[in-house]
Amino acid sequence: MTERARPHRVLIYSHDTFGLGHLRRCLTIAHALVERHRDLSVLILSGSPIVGSFDFRTRVDFVRVPGVIKLRNGEYTALNLHMDIDEILHMRASLIRHTAKAFRPDLFIVDKEPLGLRGEVKETLEDLKDRGVPLVLGLRDVMDEPALLAPEWERKRVQPALEHLYDELWVYGLPRICDPLEGIDLSPAVRRKMVYTGYLRRTAPPPLPTSPDIPADPYILVTAGGGGDGEALIDWVLRAYEHDPAIPYRAMLVLGPFMQPERQAEFLARAAALPAVEATTFETRLESLMQAAVGVVAMGGYNTFCEILSFDKKALIVPRVTPRREQYIRASRAQELGLVAMLPDDDVRRPADMAAALRRLPLQAPPSSVVVPGLLDGLETVDRLAWHHLTRPERLRPPLTLLAGGL
């Protein structure tokens, strides 16, 4: 099979040092692409320790690089291996580069981090650029407040990559909600590369034997995302039901796989003592639970926000404000538009305040009551953009015999 005739290949990089957000966004895009095109395969590079727990569709697969985690002081450390962080990062960079060499993608999409974790994807970007492979940086709708993001990107020296390596910057949102690069001194050339796609629509997967059991009674879904920073939300909701057992609807809590095991055990025990509360630690098919819920309580990460919009769920967002204000910015803009309600975390977390918010939740209007053109057009736009790159006349590439030595 010639290089031109072989099926199209897309490589997606997700650094995955914390939580589930990056991986779930990449997986959503991958599944949408292969669903629309039978001659396309997608390979995801991920550092998530639970990437293998998710359902992968035919023609989507993953390569897991050694995991790292970000400590509270901002430093990184190995997740499992007893190795120095510099050794881990060197190994990750080598695996990423050699995977790209072997896979020979026709399109490379990098999620959020322009140069990857501590620059680990920079050489791969340069290699693929030399081969004429289109390079895309995918950005969520909100990155952080400009006062924090601008110095971070300056420290990481990402501007040259935006100028000279990337062909496009896809923003998975709308400017009406947020410009993720507001406050960053970008050249007009880089600004012209930015394309707002709209949010990535989600659908509930078909029922499987592994699908979650849907509670028989109407319930409010409470999700902490990955759970690593969701303890305050879960505790606040539990204290609300302990304070006010007569809250009209039951609660279904999904704690998240990255929550500390001792806190998971504590919350499961407290939930078991409350007749109106159920809890589970992790659910890979969360969309099924959300689709059946009468309302959602969440911290407002990107993926959860997309699901709330997609399933048209009345939502109460309790955003975190550290280490990034991303969730707060998204929630406050969405509340201004009337898409969701927000309950700011004041660090006091009076149970009566949460109980009152839970009582109001079923009475508020759903997101569909607000007309925002293009709000959920993300996957269609991503498909159109990707297909444009994949089907254009092939750029001049070095012969494969040259690629075999020295990437």
Q: Which fold has domain 8-201+376-403?
A: Rossmann fold (3.40.50)
> Which one-letter amino acid corresponds to residue 353?
D
Cis (ω within 30 of 0) for the bond into 180? no
Count Cβ neighbours within 10 Å for each residue of 163-177 and write b for 16 or more, e otherwise. Answer: eebbebbbbbbbeeb
User: Taking every pair of C-alpha atoms in the chain, what is the biggest distance, in angstroms?
Assistant: 71
- pLDDT tens-digit series, residues 109-123: 999 999 999 999 999
Tell me where in the chain the CATH 3.40.50.2000 domain(s) lie.
Answer: 8-201+376-403, 219-369
Report the percentage of the chain scoring pLDDT > 70: 90
| pLDDT surpassing 70 at residue 209 | no
Judge whether residue 400 has pLDDT over 50.
no
SS3 303: helix
Q: Is the pLDDT of residue 27 over 80?
A: yes
pLDDT value at 270 more than 80: yes
What the block records as the tokens of 49 is 């320790």
Amino acid at 331: A
| Lowest-confidence pick of 34-48, 214-228, 346-360 | 214-228
Pick the closest to residue 237 from 327, 321, 352, 331 (CA basis).
352
Q: What is the 3-state secondary structure (H, E, C) of 223-276?
A: ECCCCCCCHHHHHHHHHHHHHCCCCCCEEEEECCCCCCHHHHHHHHHHHHCCCC
Distance CA 378, CA 302 (A): 13
β pairing state of 168-172 and 194-196: parallel
Query: 219-369: which CATH topology?
Result: Rossmann fold (3.40.50)
* pLDDT interval class at 3 (50, 70, 90): low
Output the pLDDT for position 121.
Answer: 97
| Spatial CA neighbour of 307 closest among 110, 25, 53, 23 | 25
Band of residue 214 on the pLDDT scale cut at 50, 70, 90: confident
Indicate the range of 1-15, 98-112, 157-171, 190-204 predicted with least confidence.
1-15
Distance CA 316, CA 223 (A): 11
pLDDT tens track for 53-70: 778 899 999 999 988 776
Averaged confidence pLDDT in the chain:
89
| Sign of the Cα pseudo-torsion (265, 266, 267, 269, in order) | positive
How far apart are the C-alpha atoms of 48 and 282, rounded to whole Å? 15
Q: Are 359 and 248 in contact (CB under 8 A)?
A: yes
Q: For the residues 216-222, what does the mean pLDDT come to?
A: 93
Geometric angle at alpha carbon 384, from 383 and 388, rounded to 5°: 115
Cβ-Cβ contacts under 8 Å for 198 (sequence gap 6 or more): 172, 173, 174, 374, 375, 376, 377, 378, 381
Q: Is the pLDDT of residue 284 over 80?
A: no
Task: Determine contact, residues 193/169, Cβ cutoff 8 Å.
Answer: yes
Residues 6+ apart with CB under 8 A from 301: 19, 21, 225, 327
pLDDT at 307: 95
Q: What are phi and psi of 296, to 5 degrees?
A: -130, 135
CA end-to-end distance (rounded Å), the chain: 23
